[in-house]
């Protein structure tokens, strides 16, 4: 599975309260395109995985794939996927929480994730999530070096 910063919604984002992903993808940057599409013609996979796990004060976490007319994901939002309540017992280090093909449908200009916390806010815990072409098996997950630039 190859990750790139442009297709990540969250890169080890701390989830301590209900929040949007730290990155929202603009499918019409600079107004260049007249139509937006996510994975038109081929499947594209949404994944979400726990980084550090210390969500002890939560009851559960819900992950939603949302598109909207604004980057805050508040104007005319459409929820394309909802994980349902993921219990805190499942929020263990490196646990894969979501691994689905992005549903077909009309997407608005901005696409991101919403993390909805149930119970008390967590003191720590992080999620990495984004869009990938193919996902490797969870048993094959290896932490490689990151943060370098390819020229």
38 found inside a domain: no
pTM of the model: 0.83
40 found inside a domain: no
120 found inside a domain: yes
Tell me the pairing of strands 86-87 and 25-26.
Answer: unpaired
What digits encode the pLDDT tens for the residues 67-126?
Answer: 999 999 999 999 999 999 999 999 998 889 998 888 888 889 999 999 999 988 888 899
CATH number at residue 101: 2.60.120.1110
Domain count for the chain: 1
Q: Which domain range does residue 72 map to?
A: 5-29+48-134
16 found inside a domain: yes
Alpha-carbon torsion (111, 117, 121, 123), positive or negative: negative
């Amino acid at each position: 599975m190859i990750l790139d910063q442009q297709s990540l919604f969250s890169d080890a984002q701390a989830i301590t309260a209900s929040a949007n992903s730290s990155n929202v993808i603009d499918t019409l940057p600079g107004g260049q395109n007249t139509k937006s599409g996510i994975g038109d013609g081929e499947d594209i996979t949404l994944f979400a995985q726990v980084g550090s796990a210390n969500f002890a004060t939560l009851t559960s976490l819900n992950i939603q794939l949302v598109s909207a007319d604004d980057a805050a994901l508040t104007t005319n939002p459409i929820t394309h996927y909802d994980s349902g309540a993921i219990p805190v017992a499942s929020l263990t280090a490196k646990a894969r929480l979501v691994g689905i093909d992005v549903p077909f449908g009309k997407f608005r200009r901005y696409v991101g994730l919403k993390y909805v916390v149930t119970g008390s806010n967590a003191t720590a815990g992080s999620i990495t999530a984004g869009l990938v072409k193919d996902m490797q098996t969870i048993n094959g997950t290896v932490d490689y070096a990151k943060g370098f630039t390819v020229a």
